[in-house]
Amino acid sequence: MKWIRTVKYTGRYRRSPADTKWSPPEPRGSALSERISWLERQLAHSSDIVFRPFAAEFEAEAGHKGLIVYVENMIDTSLLELMIHNGLMRREPSLPGDASILAAENGKRSALAGVRTTTSLRHAVLAVLQGQLLLLFDDQPDIRIYPLRKVETRAITESTNESVIRGPREAFVEDIDTNLTMIRRRIKHPALTTEQLTFGTYTHTKAMLVYIEGICKQELVREMKKRLGRVEIDGVLGSSYLEEYIEDNPYSPFPQLQHTERPDVVSASLLEGRIALFVDGTPIPILAPLTLPMLLQASEDYYQRFIAATWIRTLRFFFLFVTLLFPSIYIAITTFHPEMLPPTLLITVAAARETTPFPALVEAILMELSFEALREGGLRIPKAIGQTVSIIGALIIGQAAVQAGIVSAPMVIVVSMTGIASFIIPHFDLGLSLRLLRFPIMIMAGAFGLLGVVVAIILIYIHLINLRSFGTPYLSPLAPLRPEDLKDVLVRAPWWKMRTRPHLHGTASDQREAAIKLPQLPEGGWDGD
């Protein structure tokens, strides 16, 4: 076993302090020329960073030198012009000294609300790179940062990956501020807490931890912050980068954090005491903790009537097993236990298999692999030629393979059924992990028959029992059983029955709604009846 340990964290892999934090020494004084040359050293090798020295033209301050720094195309030029015109170039008597400009700037421009000052040049550089504008004056330690950022962002569009029929349509975008406003628009309560974090030595990606104080347990917030605090990476380009750092068991095939692109899903999760992590640049925030039953809840369930939602939910649980086990059970029964099939079905299957050259296991693996390839191909192919995949898939894999006698027709049915079943699962991640687990189970079935299938199920079950997501057992409320939380597992109870919040931590469940009386016909009927 020694060879597996040869990769050690040697110095080669260790990050130098320069890698972890950008911190060049700053000039001490507040002399403009010194600071300009420092700034230029840091920034001027990029042609899109604008340095604009100027001299103030106030009567009292004539000749007072200043500097504006910004990234071209990342600021609102109309606001910049307004500022220069009204603030810096206005000829009017003002108070003597530096304070006059400060006062003039701070007092009047409502359009420039949110001006911050800093004395740290490092901080200022980071602000410039985020699209803000710097204004600094000679002999004045304060550097002013103007939030003139204006970048092109995608408009809010309809959710494509988690579409619903009756629910709200909008989906998150890449811009984190827009995303947070979507949550704020839904939850208008001071308890909605957002905590900002920054990740990535080079990307300085903004992230937001969002939760509802009082509903979300403090331990969860603390644990989340603790896990996120360990992250030290060059860049974070998506929430999934962080996800892999904070999962409880990174080697598990099952997803332990939920993704969603729907603001209503995030809001509902926050109201249930979960915590959301937004990362700038990703339209998909992360939700924690996650349990397996949650992965079988679709947002549609809560917008449809509860009877319909319950029926669909039950169907989903059934197809969860179909997608995991159908091919393996087919293999096991046809090759090991043919007496389990009704005679007429068996004869039909036997007749179809008569000309196939491969054993059932090989046949199944071949078909499943081609199905996976088709699925992935359909996803990656440019939309304009997307039709090709379905034509090739349906004709080659389906029709031609059966007609040529290479694959039996029942196997095609089994594989397509499994494929459809995996798409019924509302969360793509879970469908993916189930499709992956299908292969070892198929091999077990091909080697040991139903016994192998049973052993595989037991192994998966043991793993699921062990798995936790931020302290919450992955199978809860099924194992450990919490009867009061079964209202949203196999069935979706009507809203007026979901009295308590789901129970993720600790011992107590809280009431989330008042017990109400359902509408009834008033005694004696309505007026005029």
Partner 1 sequence: MAIRRTLLRLAVIGLMPMLLAGCWSRLEVNDRLFVSVMYVDAGADEGEVKLTLGFALPNRMTSIQQGIAGGGGNPYGTMSNTGPSIAVAFRRIQANIPRQINWGHTRVVVIGDKLARQGIRPVLEFITRQPAMQLKGFIFIAQGEAHRLSMVTPIMERFPSEILRELAAQKSIMNTTARDLLMSEPFEGDGLIGRISVDEVRLISEKGKKGLTLNNIGTGILRNEKLVGYLSASEQRGAMWVKDQMENALVTIQSPTDGQSIDLYVNQASTRIKLKQEGERVRIRISVRATDDVYSSNSALDFQDPQQIRQIQQALNEQLKERIERALERSQQLGADYFQFGSYMEWYLPSLWKQWKMDWRRHYEEDVIFEVVPEAKVARTGAIRSSYWKPITPEEGKEQR
Binding-site ranges for partner 1 (CB under 8 A): 1, 4-5, 251, 334-336, 338-340, 343, 346-356, 359-360, 405, 409, 443, 446-449
Alpha helices in 338-400 (DSSP H): 343-353, 360-380, 386-392
Minimum Å gap between C-beta 252 and partner 1 is 10
Minimum Å gap between C-beta 495 and partner 1 is 43
Minimum Å gap between C-beta 352 and partner 1 is 6
CB-based burial, 53-66: b 16+ in 10 Å, e otherwise:
eeebebeebeebbb
* DSSP per-residue string spanning 183-226: HHHH--STTEEEEEEEE-TTT-EEEEEEEEBTTB-HHHHHHHHH
Question: Is 410 in contact with 328 (CB distance < 8 Å)?
Answer: no
Minimum Å gap between C-beta 20 and partner 1 is 24
- Closest CB to partner 1 among 405 and 506? 405
Strand 49-55 relative to strand 468-469: parallel, antiparallel, unpaired? unpaired
Question: Is 265 in contact with 210 (CB distance < 8 Å)?
Answer: no
Minimum Å gap between C-beta 498 and partner 1 is 38
- Closest CB to partner 1 among 231 and 443? 443
Minimum Å gap between C-beta 370 and partner 1 is 21
The CA distance from 132 to 137, in Å, is 17
- Closest CB to partner 1 among 309 and 415? 415
- Closest CB to partner 1 among 2 and 12? 2
The CA distance from 85 to 83, in Å, is 5
Minimum Å gap between C-beta 290 and partner 1 is 20
* DSSP per-residue string spanning 245-313: HH-S-TT-SS--SEE---HHHHHHHHHTT-EEEEETT-S--EEES--HHHHT--GGGGTS-HHHHHHHH
Q: What is the DSSP letter of 156?
A: P
Minimum Å gap between C-beta 433 and partner 1 is 16
Question: Is 21 in contact with 199 (CB distance < 8 Å)?
Answer: no
Minimum Å gap between C-beta 351 and partner 1 is 4
- Closest CB to partner 1 among 309 and 367? 367
Alpha helices in 425-471 (DSSP H): 428-448, 450-466
- Closest CB to partner 1 among 282 and 356? 356
Minimum Å gap between C-beta 334 and partner 1 is 5
Q: What's the CA angle centered on 505, arms 502 and 507, to 5 degrees?
A: 90
Alpha-carbon Rg for the chain in angstroms: 31
Angle separating helix axes 176-186 and 263-271, nearest 10 degrees: 60
Structure tokens at 256: 């332990």
- Closest CB to partner 1 among 201 and 348? 348
The CA distance from 50 to 70, in Å, is 5
Instruction: State yes or no: cis peptide before 477, omega within 30 of 0.
Output: yes
- Closest CB to partner 1 among 82 and 443? 443
- Closest CB to partner 1 among 80 and 444? 444
Q: Say which amino acid occupies 175.
A: D
- Closest CB to partner 1 among 105 and 363? 363
Minimum Å gap between C-beta 463 and partner 1 is 11
Minimum Å gap between C-beta 287 and partner 1 is 25
- Closest CB to partner 1 among 88 and 331? 331
Question: Is 166 in contact with 300 (CB distance < 8 Å)?
Answer: yes
Long-range contacts of 513-522 (CB under 8 A, 24+ apart): none
Q: How are the residues of the chain apportioned to helix, strand and coil, as percentages rounded to the nearest 5? A: 50, 10, 40
Minimum Å gap between C-beta 257 and partner 1 is 19
- Closest CB to partner 1 among 303 and 448? 448
- Closest CB to partner 1 among 4 and 113? 4
Question: Is 449 in contact with 332 (CB distance < 8 Å)?
Answer: yes
